[in-house]
Every structure is written in C-alpha cells, then in structure tokens.
C-alpha cells in the first residue's frame, strides 16, 4: 500500500512512525504546510501532488475539521483512492455522500479512530452486527469532558480551571466548544448509531446538552447523593425508531462508570443475543488513535469492502418516547423531575436562549 498522508500533527506524526514498522504501509508523500526533518518521504504543501500521483492508492486524512478535509477526501475517492481518516466531524456530517462515493468508485473508506480513539469500537460494532441485532450504543465518548468532570470531582476544582488544565494537556479540540457542549460526542454517537443500527440519522437532530454550565456546587450536591456526573452519548433503537442525545448523566459512586476517570472512554453496546458489552481505554492521544488508523490501513490492504455496512436507512431521531428522571438546577433551586428527552432538552434550550443559569443531568437507571 502506498499512502499519501495528510497532516503531521499529534496523530499524523504518530501514524507516520507506526507505519514505518510495517512493510505493507509505505508513506510515499506527506501533505503539510511545514516541512519536517528526517522523514523518509516526499513532502508537499499541495494536495494535487498527492491526487495526481497514480502510485498512491490510499489517502490517510489526519488534518481534521470539515474544510479542506471534505474537498481532499471526496477528490481522493473520486480519483479511485481508498481513504482512511480519524475525522468524526467530516464522516458524521457527510455520511451518505462519502460512503456513496466510495461505493461508486470501488474503493474503501474507513474511520475506526473517529469514535473511541484507540478503541476498535466501530470495528467491533460491525463484527457483532453480522451475528446479532444491536439495540443500543452509549457511553463516555469524549475524553476532554471526562477529564474535566473527574478533576472537578476528585480535586473539587471549578469548571474553568479544569478546562484550562485539559487544554494544557492537549485533550481538548483546538476550539473546546465542540468538546464541552457535546458536539464531539454527538458526532461519535451518530457514527456509532449509524453503523450499529444500519441507519443514517441527521446529526442536527441529535440534541446536545454539555457541561459548560456545571459548577463546583453541583458536583458537591451529587457527592452528597452518592452520585458522579459523566457526559454520556446514548442512542437506542426501539420498535423501528431511534432515540439519541448527548447529556450529563448521574451514576452511583460504586458503579463501573464512576471509575472511568481522566481522558478515558467507556463505550457500551446492547445486543439481543450477547447482552451488554463494554469497551474502555484511551479515547484520544497520538499513538492510541494512530493505532486504529494503521489497523484500518492494514484492513484496506487486505481488500475490505467500501464501508463497514451497506445499510443506511434514512431515519429521523425521535426523543418523545424515552422518559428519564432529571436533576434540574436553575438560579433559584435544584429539583428532580421526570421528563421525556425532548422536553428536557427543550427546557435546556429555553434557559440557554434566555442566558439564565441552568444545569441538568439525567439519572442513570442502571450502574
Ligand atoms: N477532543 C476529543 C476528546 C479527542 O476529548 O475525546 C478525541 O476524539
């Protein structure tokens, strides 16, 4: 396999180093704005150099973001090159279009590192989907927010200080809004649900309520109740309709969730025959993420199909049926109330639009 590598940041440089260890994966060219010393490949600042190189059969996109990643990936697929990427934003936003391009051009598109970082989560969903019916996917899908919430719980720090620390340690995205408001977890949830359920749900229909409104007083109140707070993305397929959202959730201190701290992820699936399976590990970071990118390349080299699944039934998100107990805190007081997911997120939006203090967290039913 001759690879055109796009990007040489934390994940790109780790991928380059790991690809050197395998005879099948030769990085023939690197696209980056800067030139790097000591690399054993051609370096260019122009994507056309990679696109027009007939010897490059696979493009590994590790620049992230929507643009120019979208233009590069679609051009590569149209030119008959396989694409491996860690870009959850791109694949979640352009799901149908990019898979259709891969199918039409007889090439492969893989993005295992886009959800779960170093955990082979999407690969496991595909494998299990061949023998069982997956009915739910859920969990901690964002390392930055888990780091912030863990720090606030363990060290009783305020939100802003914990966010600064997460940024300093390199867990947060360049703009941490996507992490703290739940959009990053939402993109990973959409990919997971689409692959698990064989559907295509629009990202814009998945409500996200993040952790930017949480205070040290909320955390202290949760502690008194024997609970810890985690940002959870969850989707469930029931009677042909899908519910999906991202929201803080409260778990007992004695349960499994409470022990996933720092930037780690814990992602679970529920299926009819195998029951619940959980996967924990590094959800971010150079080498863990690069390891999934490299494993995707090796699968592509072995001739895998266009995408993880051929099924992508368009489906609207329906959050009207799922009812949960919520902790709700406004400027005046905190209360507990049972609401549908739709009603809870509509309430959150009203407070957000009115720029009034508000925080909510669903109370987990199990563990
Ligand atoms: N910012 C992301 C996170 C990186 O914190 O999980 C990995 O997708």
Check if 264 has its Cβ closer than 6 Å to any atom of ligand 1: no
Q: Return the pLDDT at 366.
A: 64
- Comparing C-alpha atoms, which of 165, 163, 259 is closest to residue 212? 163
Check if 284 has its Cβ closer than 6 Å to any atom of ligand 1: yes
Q: If you take atom 8 of ligand 1, which residue's CA is the nearest one?
A: 284
Average pLDDT over residues 16-21: 98
Check if 171 has its Cβ closer than 6 Å to any atom of ligand 1: yes
Task: Tell me how far apart the alpha carbons of residues 324 and 219 are, in angstroms, rounded to a whole number.
Answer: 20
Annotation marks residue 88 as catalytic: no
* Neighbour-count burial of 26, counting CB atoms closer than 10 A to its CB (0-12 exposed, 13-18 middle, 19+ buried): middle
Two tokens, residue 65: 């973001």
Quote the ligand 1 centre to 301 CA distance (angstroms): 27
Check if 143 has its Cβ closer than 6 Å to any atom of ligand 1: yes
pLDDT digits (tens, 9 = 90+) for 41-74: 999 999 999 999 999 999 999 999 999 999 999 9
Average pLDDT over residues 351-355: 96
Catalytic residue among 34, 188, 223, 325: 188
Three-class SS of 232-287: EEEEEEECCEEEEEEEEEEEECCCCHHHCCCCEEEEEEEECCCEEEEEEEECCCHH
Q: State the closest ligand 1 atom to the C-alpha of 178, by its place in the atom list counted from 1.
A: 1
Quote the ligand 1 centre to 288 CA distance (angstroms): 12
- Comparing C-alpha atoms, which of 6, 2, 13 is closest to residue 46? 6
Answer whether 0.95 is exceeded by the pTM.
yes
pLDDT digits (tens, 9 = 90+) for 278-306: 999 999 889 999 999 999 999 999 999 99
Q: Return the pLDDT at 176.
A: 92
Quote the ligand 1 centre to 218 CA distance (angstroms): 24
For residue 311, the 8-state DSSP code is -
Judged against a pLDDT cut of 70, whether residue 367 lies above it is answered with no
Three-class SS of the chain: CEEEEECCCHHHHHHHHHHCCCCCCEEEEEECCCCCCCCCCEEECCHHHHHCCCCCCEEEECCCCCCCHHHHHHHHHHCCCEEEECCHHHHHHCHHHHHHHHHHCCCCEECHHHCCCCCCHHHHHHHHHCCCCEEEEEEECCHHHHHHHHHHHHHCCCHHHHHHHHHHCCCCCCCCHHHHCCHHHHHHHHHHHHHHHCEECCHHHCCECCCCCCCHHHHHHHHHCCEEEEEEEEEEEECCEEEEEEEEEEEECCCCHHHCCCCEEEEEEEECCCEEEEEEEECCCHHHHHHHHHHHHHHHHCCCCCCCCCCCEECCECCCCCEEEEEEEECCCEEEEEEEHHHHHHHHHHHHHCCCCEEEEEECCCC
Q: Domains (ranges, CATH) in the chain?
A: 2-110 (3.40.50.720), 123-281+315-363 (3.30.360.10)
Q: Return the pLDDT at 353.
A: 96
Check if 247 has its Cβ closer than 6 Å to any atom of ligand 1: no
Mean of the per-residue pLDDT values of the chain: 96
For the chain, how far is it from start to end, CA to CA, in angstroms?
45
Quote the ligand 1 centre to 183 CA distance (angstroms): 11
pLDDT digits (tens, 9 = 90+) for 65-117: 999 999 999 999 999 999 999 999 999 999 999 999 999 999 999 999 999 99
pLDDT digits (tens, 9 = 90+) for 120-170: 999 999 999 999 999 999 999 999 999 999 999 999 999 999 999 988 888
Quote the ligand 1 centre to 172 CA distance (angstroms): 6
Quote the ligand 1 centre to 221 CA distance (angstroms): 28
Two tokens, residue 355: 């720029």
pLDDT digits (tens, 9 = 90+) for 210-254: 999 999 999 999 999 999 999 999 999 999 999 999 999 999 999
Instruction: Give the percent of the chain with pLDDT over 90.
Output: 96
Choose the residue to mutate in 118, 139, 142 for probing ligand 1, maximizing ligand atoms within 8 Å of C-beta.
142
Check if 146 has its Cβ closer than 6 Å to any atom of ligand 1: no
Check if 265 has its Cβ closer than 6 Å to any atom of ligand 1: no
Q: Return the pLDDT at 51.
A: 98
Q: State the closest ligand 1 atom to the C-alpha of 173, by its place in the atom list counted from 1.
A: 1
Judged against a pLDDT cut of 70, whether residue 174 lies above it is answered with no
Q: If you take atom 4 of ligand 1, which residue's CA is the nearest one?
A: 284
Give the list of residues 6+ apart from residue 82 with CB closer than 8 angstroms, or none.
57, 58, 59, 107, 108, 109, 110, 300
Q: Return the pLDDT at 154.
A: 96
Q: Return the pLDDT at 171.
A: 80
Check if 129 has its Cβ closer than 6 Å to any atom of ligand 1: no
């Amino acid at each position: 396999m001759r690879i055109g590598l796009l990007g040489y940041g934390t994940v790109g440089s780790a991928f380059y180093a790991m690809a050197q260890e395998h005879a099948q994966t030769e990085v023939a060219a690197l696209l980056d704005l800067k030139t790097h010393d000591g690399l054993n490949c051609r370096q260019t600042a122009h994507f056309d150099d990679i696109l027009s190189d007939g010897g490059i059969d696979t493009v590994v996109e590790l620049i992230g973001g929507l643009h120019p990643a979208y233009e590069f990936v679609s051009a590569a697929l149209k030119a008959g090159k396989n694409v491996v990427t860690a870009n959850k934003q791109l694949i979640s936003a352009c799901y149908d279009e990019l898979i259709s391009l891969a199918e039409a051009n007889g090439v492969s598109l893989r993005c295992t590192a886009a959800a779960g970082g170093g955990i082979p989560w999407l690969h496991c969903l595909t494998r299990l989907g061949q023998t069982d019916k997956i009915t739910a996917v859920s969990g901690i899908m964002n390392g930055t927010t888990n780091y912030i919430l863990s720090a606030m719980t363990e060290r009783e720090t305020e939100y802003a200080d914990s966010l600064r620390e997460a940024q300093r340690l390199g867990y947060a995205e360049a703009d941490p809004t996507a992490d703290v408001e739940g959009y990053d977890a939402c993109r990973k949830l959409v990919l997971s649900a689409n692959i698990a359920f064989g559907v295509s749900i629009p990202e814009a229909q998945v409500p996200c309520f993040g952790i930017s409104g949480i205070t040290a007083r909320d955390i202290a109140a949760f502690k008194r109740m024997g609970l810890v707070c985690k940002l959870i993305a969850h989707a469930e397929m029931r009677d042909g309709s899908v519910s999906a959202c991202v929201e803080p959730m409260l778990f007992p201190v004695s349960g499994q969730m409470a022990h996933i701290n720092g930037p780690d992820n814990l992602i679970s699936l529920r299926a009819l025959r195998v029951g619940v399976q959980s996967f924990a590990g590094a959800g971010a970071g150079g080498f863990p993420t690069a390891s999934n990118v490299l494993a995707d390349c090796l699968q592509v080299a072995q001739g895998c199909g266009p995408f993880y699944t051929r099924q992508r039934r368009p489906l609207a998100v329906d959050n009207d049926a799922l009812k949960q107990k919520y902790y709700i805190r406004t400027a005046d007081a905190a209360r507990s109330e049972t609401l549908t997911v739709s009603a809870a997120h509509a309430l959150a939006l009203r407070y957000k639009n009115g720029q009034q203090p508000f925080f909510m967290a669903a109370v987990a039913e199990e563990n």
